[in-house]
């Protein structure tokens, strides 16, 4: 006992202050409402790290899912949806083909908004099924979560967070229609920031700036129509008259999968954090390339034969 006391006396004063708090730093209870497809890959790496740090995670996912599978890292709660896994796989393949296929500008913008409309309708249908599952919603309410981790493209996550009165953490690469700019009140002047469809750079001539403003106006009108059904659902479930940007503005933290090196310079709010490097996996050395480079070092090319 005497030796133990002597050992304690040798500890730094700051460590003696921290030790009583060690037992309080237990993992939290996190509700996760992810989005299927490629969006899930990056979020899964975060979930794995959270699980390693002792957090308890519950994932709410539809019964038909392509990428999100049961795991020891989280508990899965499912809800029924009016589509199948085969339908989702076909839609993902079709979406990937349209994104990378070369198209004229007007055709590209028309088909892009048509795809956004299809995706929006699909997510709205899934959200209605989730919110109408009274047993699941009651279970989530009684589970006493600490926060909600979500992909804001699936607006249902924020609706659930609002209903449960929980802080929300967004994990996002971008939201259609630039809702992240409206929700966070970040400056995004259409005369200076090029729209995605135009392929312009930040060095635009006056006619290009005018066209960029027109495209931005058309995008705003189209998105108002696309997301009007979501606003009806918000009123019905939350009994609040909120627009989509107003709903998204309630986020506690925005984890943005942007890299400032590849993005246009713009201000961000204090609760917005750039985590672009999270998309970079741990690369393994290429054995063949390494052998080739070593061979070149051992036997440098000579111009004399």
Mean pLDDT, the chain, rounded, equals: 78
* Angle of CA points 243, 247, 249, to nearest 5°: 115
Order of strands, sheet of 56-62, starting from the edge strand that comes earlier in the sequence = 75-79, 56-62, 29-33, 147-150, 168-172, 253-256, 272-274
CA distance 148 to 140: 11
Which segment, 79-88, 116-125, 197-206, 242-251, is predicted with the most confidence on average?
Answer: 242-251
For the whole prediction, is pTM greater than 0.85?
Answer: no
Sign of CA dihedral 222, 226, 230, 236: positive
* % of the chain with per-residue pLDDT over 90: 28
- For tokens 């229609």, the residue is 177
Q: How far apart are CA 150 and CA 161, in angstroms?
A: 9
- What average pLDDT score do residues 33-58 get? 86
Lowest mean pLDDT among 59-73, 190-204, 251-265, 286-300: 286-300
| pLDDT at position 97 over 80 | no
| C-alpha torsion sign, points 151, 154, 160, 165 | positive
Largest CA distance in the chain: 85
* DSSP bridge pairs for 171: 255
Q: Among residues 197, 195, 170, which one has the least CA distance to residue 268?
A: 170
CA 162 – CA 185 distance, rounded (Å): 20
What are the pLDDT digits (tens) for 1-15? Answer: 444 345 444 444 444
Kindly report the length of the chain.
305
* Range 25-281 has CATH code 3.30.1490.190: no
Burial of 164 (0-12, 13-18, 19+ CB in 10 A): middle
Q: Return the number of other C-beta atoms located less than 10 Å from residue 218's C-beta.
A: 14
pLDDT digit string (tens) for 198-245?
778 878 899 999 988 888 888 777 777 778 888 999 999 999 999 999
Predicted pLDDT at 17: 45
Residue with more model confidence, 292 or 196: 196
Neighbours of 157 (CB within 10 A): 27
Among candidates 125, 55, 49, which has minimal Cα distance to 83? 125
pLDDT of 59: 93
């Amino acid at each position: 006992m005497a030796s133990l006391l002597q050992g304690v006396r040798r500890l730094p004063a700051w460590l003696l202050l921290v030790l009583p708090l060690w037992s309080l730093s237990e993992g939290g209870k996190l509700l996760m409402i992810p989005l299927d497809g490629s969006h899930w890959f990056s979020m899964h790496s975060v979930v794995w790290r959270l699980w390693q740090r002792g957090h308890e995670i519950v994932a709410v996912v539809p019964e038909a899912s392509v990428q999100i599978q049961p795991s020891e890292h989280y508990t899965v709660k499912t809800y029924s949806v009016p589509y199948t896994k085969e339908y989702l796989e076909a839609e993902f393949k079709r979406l990937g083909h349209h994104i990378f296929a070369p198209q004229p500008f007007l055709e590209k913008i028309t088909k892009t908004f048509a795809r956004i409309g299809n995706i929006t309708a699909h997510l709205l249908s899934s959200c209605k099924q989730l919110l109408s599952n009274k047993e699941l919603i009651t279970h989530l309410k009684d589970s006493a979560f600490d926060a909600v981790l979500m992909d804001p493209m699936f607006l249902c996550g924020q609706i659930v967070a609002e209903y449960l009165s929980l802080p929300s953490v967004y994990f996002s690469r971008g939201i259609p229609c630039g809702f992240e700019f409206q929700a966070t009140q970040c400056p995004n002047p259409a005369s200076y920031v090029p729209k995605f469809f135009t392929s312009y750079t930040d060095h635009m001539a006056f006619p290009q700036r005018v066209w960029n403003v027109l495209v931005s106006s058309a995008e705003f009108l189209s998105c108002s129509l696309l997301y009007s059904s979501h606003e009806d659902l918000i009123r019905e479930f939350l009994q609040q008259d909120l627009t989509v940007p107003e709903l998204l503005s309630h986020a506690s933290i925005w984890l943005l999968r942007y890299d400032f090196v590849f993005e246009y310079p713009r201000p961000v709010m204090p609760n917005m954090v750039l985590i672009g490097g999270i998309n970079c996996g741990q690369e393994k050395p290429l054995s063949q390339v390494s052998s080739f480079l070593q061979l070149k070092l051992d036997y440098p090319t000579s111009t004399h034969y």
